[in-house]
Chains A and B, each alone.
Chain A
Amino acid sequence: VQLQESGPGLVKPSQTLSLTCTVSGGSITNTNYYWSWIRQPAGKGLEWIGRIYTTGSTNYNPSLKSRVTISLDTSKNQFSLKLNSVTTADTAIYYCAGVTYTTSSNWFDPWGQGTLVTVSS
């Protein structure tokens, strides 16, 4: 399975950041995985944004929950991220990732290449 992020590299403050992750080499409805977004601001660590199961059920990072929506498009084998009311603090490299899970554990693998999104007027 391979993942590839796409979307605008520049977003104005207060607007909505929208990214899509295209899954290839397998079906996005494969129940061995669920799907996630993670970001890394320059010079900082990784921050988990949220996840979506193949059922459409979602969980979000509490720190971002009020601004985030993750959705699934099974017809296109894609999942998407929307982050509204962005500020310069949202400037980061955004990664999509597949999450392998068992009854007791989950891990992020594989990852997309990442895409830089800059918030600036």
Chain B
Amino acid sequence: SYELTQPPSVSVSPGQTASITCSGDKLGDKYACWYQHKPGQSPVLVIFQDTKRPSGIPERFSGSNSGNTATLTISGTQAMDEADYFCQTWDSSTAVFGGGTKLTVL
């Protein structure tokens, strides 16, 4: 079965750029999405179709996807961005999620 691999944790200082990677076999040939998940809340879509932001998502969130890796980049990271982030794609009509990355804003 298809697997997506994310680093368990990423740390960033306020105002700096955070990059969270998501790796999968030929992931660049598929579309990737990213979800922000804060404790006690429902997940929120922050990136879809590799690079697109839903309305209401700040411009500091951006995405890319090429080769075997999709990347979520948060520029000028704020304390409110501290959360778990999950990548997701589709393989053989099955949704696949990465294991999640805990973003800590120090």
- Answer whether A48 and B97 are a contact pair too, CB < 8 Å, given A95-B42, A108-B88, A114-B42: yes
A36 & B95 in contact (Cβ 8 Å cutoff)? yes
Please indicate the chain B residues that have their CB under 8 angstroms from the CB of A61 in the complex: 94-95
Chain B: interface secondary structure?
strand
Main secondary structure of the interface of A (DSSP, over half): strand
Task: Count residues on chain B whose CB falls below 8 Å from chain A CBs.
Answer: 24
Residue of A nearest to B49 (CB): A105
Within 8 A of A (CB), among B1-56: 1, 31, 33, 35, 37, 41-45, 48-49, 54
- Other-chain residue from B31, B35, B37 in contact with A104 (beta carbon distance below 8 A): B31
A31 within 8 A of B: no
Contact of B43 among A47, A104, A111 (CB under 8 A): A111
Which residue of chain A is the closest to B92 with respect to CB atoms? A62
The interface size of chain A toward B, counting residues with CB under 8 Å, comes to 25
A109 adjacent to B97 (CB under 8 Å)? no
Q: A46-B97, A108-B88 are in contact. List 14 more A-B contacts (CB 8 A).
A: A38-B95, A44-B99, A46-B37, A46-B100, A48-B96, A61-B95, A104-B31, A105-B48, A105-B49, A109-B45, A110-B42, A111-B42, A111-B44, A114-B42
Q: Residues of B at under 8 Å CB distance from A?
A: 1, 31, 33, 35, 37, 41-45, 48-49, 54, 86, 88, 90, 93-100
